[in-house]
Chains A and B, each alone.
Chain A
């Protein structure tokens, strides 16, 4: 009896080790191929990889990701300029009016946005922004990325502000500070690293999301066409180029995925570091 139990335990250990190994292997393959192909591209193109446009489809030249990176910086930057003020104000409001009726409704709304399949956001922006403006544009892409990033910012800001003990608020009120001053000149500066991490989290989402820009941003490969012109993001490039049969485009897709991984992981590292530091009382 005892022997069987120990054998069963060893079998179980083997099974769970395999279960752990599978996702580890998958992420290892993702990281490994991204690094391998991006190094290969870097060796053949040098710094041109970050400046030149992609080469001809199926050609021998790999080309670069210059215009795509530029477009990504602008479109995600624009998205976060829309989402950050909105998200911070709403997050602050939700933290300071925990039991209000309006606050419950708004918090439900934020929840709903975060649950929405991101393609639905894309479709919404497609019909609200793209159709009236008559085409794909950076503005539309930025709006849909902002909507996708918004709930993460709101939730993180709310959690950060909620973790401040109410004694700080009481002290401020007892000094006669109005509520908005208490919040904006005391609580928000106190938790500025938390707010910063919320914005970084939102930026990370804006960087990684593909479905919202798929229907809104267009696919500009060779240049920068301004606010109302077509744009592009690194994640969109991965989506489109990975599905082409051309080797040089696939290499570029893996390079883009290396860039995206580097961005996402370093942002999530920062978020984790910063959130870990925030402690009150």
Chain B
């Protein structure tokens, strides 16, 4: 009897004392929604793209025949277009961001440095579609003038891989500079003092400090690359949206995201196009996440874990 009572009291007591469960129980439905969104996205993408993968096989990725009239969907030009724009974008954004960080940290007094950093913060808040209209009104005409000036055989409108890359680069420069300067500003003051006491000039200081932050630079580049791969609106406004395998950056191209945007309204006309677009989205999701994860892994490993001065 006493044993039963003892157990009963323990159970009741535990239930009262088990304060951990209240919070978890209350939050559970909300957590389930979040998990359901992620699982749902993957399930929907997978389920819809299965037919395309079975119909096209590996040709979906390595073929360049996109003809809805014969229900053949192969996305190689979109795939190369996506990587082409993103690579050029990172190659453009990286030196400019590094230059911006060097300018702020090596040549500017601390008050101006803070002003520049906060304006970077605001520039990073500009919605991407605004960069898109800027690209359409300023970058595309500039590219067209360049093509006309040299008399090149290239995109007649100026909408091209290069225009897409320039828009992507300028869109990501504030973000990239912020990540790099975050780490750059954490370099211990004793090191900086030592450099100054040796009489190192601005570019020499950058060279030494670059060695210390190159992990962050690599991480930032990968992150920006991942973001570029997934970017939709601004790119599809300026890239030209023509389905051809562009070799020259001055030719019009297409990216996976702009492929989806351009064809999604026609899906009801064809039997298998919906599946093809979902499969393309899946490919984009996987490759973009891969680069972002890699970028974060590199940044975390080389900056926080491996760095000499910790975080």
Q: Which residues of A contact B (CB under 8 A)?
A: 5-6, 8-9, 12-13, 15-20, 22-23, 26-27, 29-30, 33-34, 85-86, 89-90, 92-93, 96-97, 102, 105-106, 109-110, 112-113, 115-121, 123-124, 126-128, 147, 150, 154, 173, 178-180, 183, 204, 207-211, 214-215, 235, 238-239, 242-243, 250, 253-254, 257, 260-261, 264-265, 267-269, 272
**A182, chain B: closest CB distance, angstroms:** 8
**For residue A19, which residue of chain B has the nearest CB?**
B99
Q: How far is the CA of A183 from the CA of B20 in the complex (A)?
A: 11
Q: Is the CB of A20 within 8 A of B100?
A: yes
Contact with A along B98-119 (1 / 0, CB 8 A): 1110111011000000001010
- The count of chain B contact residues (Cβ–Cβ below 8 Å) is 75
Q: Assuming the A-B contacts A19-B100, A23-B174, A119-B261, are A113 and B226 also in contact, with contact meaning beta carbons closer than 8 angstroms in the complex?
A: no
* B residues near A106, Cβ cutoff 8 Å: 31, 34-35
Q: Of residues A18, A34, A209, A257, which shows the largest number of chain B Cβ atoms within 10 Å of its Cβ?
A: A257
* B residues near A269, Cβ cutoff 8 Å: 122
Q: Is the CB of A33 within 8 A of B134?
A: yes
Q: Assuming the A-B contacts A208-B128, A214-B261, are A115 and B232 also in contact, with contact meaning beta carbons closer than 8 angstroms in the complex?
A: no
Q: Is the CB of A19 within 8 A of B96?
A: yes
Q: How far is the CA of A197 from the CA of B237 in the complex (A)?
A: 32
Interface residues of B in 31-67 (CB under 8 A from A): 31, 33-35, 37-38, 40-41, 44-45, 48
* A residues near B281, Cβ cutoff 8 Å: 117, 119-120, 123
Choose from A30, A127, A254 the contact partner of B126 (Cβ within 8 Å). Answer: A30
Q: Which residues of B contact A (CB under 8 A)?
A: 19-20, 22-24, 26-27, 30-31, 33-35, 37-38, 40-41, 44-45, 48, 95-96, 98-100, 102-104, 106-107, 116, 118, 121-123, 125-134, 136-138, 170, 173-174, 201-204, 206, 226, 229-233, 237, 257, 260-261, 264, 277-278, 281, 284-285, 288-289, 292-293
* A residues near B33, Cβ cutoff 8 Å: 86
Q: Is the CB of A208 within 8 A of B127?
A: yes
The 3 closest A-B pairs by CB, nearest first: A19-B99, A117-B230, A208-B127
* A residues near B264, Cβ cutoff 8 Å: 123, 126, 215
Q: Is the CB of B96 within 8 A of A178?
A: no
Choose from B23, B37, B125, B202 the contact partner of A264 (Cβ within 8 Å). Answer: B125
**B226, chain A: closest CB distance, angstroms:** 7
Q: How far is the CA of A154 from the CA of B264 in the complex (A)?
A: 31
Q: Is the CB of A214 within 8 A of B133?
A: no
Binding site of B, secondary structure by majority: helix, strand, loop or mixed? Answer: helix
Binding site of A, secondary structure by majority: helix, strand, loop or mixed? Answer: helix
Choose from A115, A265, A268 the contact partner of B289 (Cβ within 8 Å). Answer: A115
**B196, chain A: closest CB distance, angstroms:** 14
Q: Of residues A5, A85, A127, which shows the largest number of chain B Cβ atoms within 10 Å of its Cβ?
A: A127
**For residue A267, which residue of chain B has the nearest CB?**
B125
Q: Assuming the A-B contacts A118-B232, A124-B41, A243-B237, are A9 and B202 also in contact, with contact meaning beta carbons closer than 8 angstroms in the complex?
A: yes
Known: A124-B41, A261-B130. 6 other contacts (CB 8 A): A34-B130, A93-B27, A113-B34, A126-B264, A208-B128, A257-B133
Q: Of residues A34, A116, A215, A254, which shows the largest number of chain B Cβ atoms within 10 Å of its Cβ?
A: A116
Q: How far is the CA of A243 from the CA of B140 in the complex (A)?
A: 12
Q: Of residues A113, A120, A215, which shows the largest number of chain B Cβ atoms within 10 Å of its Cβ?
A: A120
* B residues near A254, Cβ cutoff 8 Å: 133
Q: Is the CB of B203 within 8 A of A9?
A: yes
Q: Assuming the A-B contacts A26-B134, A272-B118, are A238 and B129 also in contact, with contact meaning beta carbons closer than 8 angstroms in the complex?
A: yes
Q: Is the CB of A22 within 8 A of B96?
A: yes
**B292, chain A: closest CB distance, angstroms:** 5
Q: Is the CB of A16 within 8 A of B99?
A: yes
Q: Of residues B35, B130, B136, B201, which shows the largest number of chain A Cβ atoms within 10 Å of its Cβ?
A: B130
